[in-house]
Structure 1
Amino acid sequence: MEIQKTSLVNIVIERIKNSILENKLKPNDKFLTEKELTEQLKVSRTVVREALISLQAVGILKIKPGGGIYIADTKLGTINSILKHHYETYGVKIRELIEIRKVIELGALRLIIEKQVPLDIQQLKEINESYLQAITTNGDTKKFDRIFHQSLIKATDNDTFYDFSEIIHQYFALVRIDLTENQDSLIESYKQHNEIVDAIKDNDLLHAQKTMTAHFEPIFTFIKKMEEES
């Protein structure tokens, strides 16, 4: 059943991409609403919502809570090409890359709480529940983990900050780290996600950042082991 749902979401994602191309939509153009997509594609609202969240996470769409869905600015393409060339030519220090990502995510928490940005708590919880389902069914856990973290950064309501984080993510994607996690560690990650969301809801920056720091510890431990073995 889960495989069928995942396939349906992927089909909807491709249809939305085709619609954008066929209608020659440009950055900042308004797109169809969730309801319109549900009616046109004849699928459930849950499937459409998951497809939209995925497309927002990869920078194709921009969802404004209560303000509609828009085509995102794709100006990062050229920068990503430059980064790819730099990586292939000079390589990258993995530890430094993870440290930058950690700083970005801790900064995102500060922005969200200090700016009192209206946060869609329910959406974050739903993403995390999809993450849990992927854990228990041996699904694509990395996909939902990424969507969760990118949704947090998107919630800063700071487009420049989000674009910068996407640049780092694209660079990070070039480095394939085979971090094998068992189910217990993934469940702990799921719990930390929930704890971070609850801390944001309570405006508890200290606890949110403390939990996020703990969230990064397994990968730093893995990198240290890699460095010792090399």
Structure 2
Amino acid sequence: MKIERKKVSMQVFDRIKEYIHEEKMKPGDRLPTEKQLSEMFGVSRTPVREALSVLEASGLTVSKQGGGSIVQATSLTNLIEETQFEFVDSEEVLNLLETRIILETEAARLAAERGTAEDKERIKEKLEDLRASQNDNRVGYKEDIAFHNAIVQATYNPILVHSVESVTTLYDKAIRFSLKKNMGISEKRAQVLSEHERIYTAIRLGNGSQAKEEMYQHLNNACKKFKQSFDQALNS
């Protein structure tokens, strides 16, 4: 049952999914421990820990006090397929965020300069939705994406809109891990909301250069926080 060294964490992730299917595990069932999985697959505990952390971030499992992971009460078949898409190397996510910086900093500038009053009102509405999600202690990733997409739509550049849409699905799933890790940290949530507010204010005032700078600062901070969250998850 041992696996190859290439992409060990990904292979462990796949094997755990296979194990859940083969054992016909139900919500509430407990997965083998890190040590047991490590012995089952013939790997160290590090890739096992990484695979388990992604399963938990995806909502498929939940950690229990005293150790171990419990299968969550959810649509297991659909979620197992979806988690495959979420399991990405941290470097790949950082590359994706770098691409978003390139595209969205310019999008913020154009939205400030080209956006109509209706466009700016729509961006404000998405900002209010994001604020409400934080007040309700929801993760808010859908509201986060909607805010950014409203800005891109206000550029009136169909090529830019298409370029951002082409990576939005990847981006959507990639940031869930980071946002869920930050969900209960009030300072981080307040900081993210403040960053969005500053972006909106610059756009509302028609200040393209300031909107571009605020978007850069926001996405650059997102890169830093994702890396920190990912490193903490691996070392926990």
The TM-score by the shorter chain falls in which range? Answer: 0.5 to 0.7
Question: Cα deviations across residues 99-148 of structure 1 (Å, max 9, x unaligned)?
Answer: 0011111010222244x331432222222112111101112411111110
**Aligned mates of 1:208, 1:144 — CA distance in 2:** 19
Q: What does 1:35-46 correspond to in 2, within 5 Å?
A: none
**Aligned mates of 1:112, 1:167 — CA distance in 2:** 19
Verify the 8 A CA contact 1:119 1:155 in the aligned structure 2.
Answer: no
Tell me the equivalent position of 1:147: 146
Tell me the equivalent position of 2:205: 202
Q: What is the RMSD of the two structures over their aligned residues, measured on CA atoms?
A: 2.9
Name the SS of the counterpart of 2:155 in structure 1. coil
The AA in structure 2 aligned to 1:108 is A
Q: What does 1:158-197 correspond to in 2, within 5 Å?
A: 158-173=157-172, 175=174, 178-179=177-178, 180-181=181-182, 182-197=185-200
Tell me the equivalent position of 2:156: 157
What percent identity do the matched residue pairs reach?
Answer: 20
For structure 1, list consecutive stretches of 5 or more residues without a partner in the other structure.
Answer: 1-83
Tell me the equivalent position of 1:95: 94
Deviation at 1:151? 0.6
Point out which structure has higher relative CO (alpha carbons under 8 A, 6+ apart).
2
Question: Cα deviations across residues 14-42 of structure 1 (Å, max 9, x unaligned)?
Answer: xxxxxxxxxxxxxxxxxxxxxxxxxxxxx
Deviation at 1:168? 1.2
Q: What does 1:203-218 correspond to in 2, within 5 Å?
A: 203-218=206-221
Tell me the equivalent position of 1:118: 116
Corresponding position: 1:221 with 2:224: yes
Verify the 8 A CA contact 2:133 2:140 in the aligned structure 1.
Answer: yes
For these two proteins, the number of residue pairs brought into alignment is 143
**Aligned mates of 1:177, 1:200 — CA distance in 2:** 26
**Aligned mates of 2:109, 2:142 — CA distance in 1:** 24
Q: TM-score, normalised by structure 1?
A: 0.53
**Aligned mates of 1:133, 1:177 — CA distance in 2:** 18
Deviation at 1:176? 6.2
For structure 2, list consecutive stretches of 5 or more residues without a partner in the other structure.
Answer: 1-81
Tell me the equivalent position of 2:135: 136
Cα pair distance change 1:122/1:111, threshold 3 Å:
closer
The AA in structure 2 aligned to 1:189 is V
Name the SS of the counterpart of 1:148 in structure 2. helix
Cα pair distance change 1:227/1:95, threshold 3 Å:
farther
Deviation at 1:93? 1.8
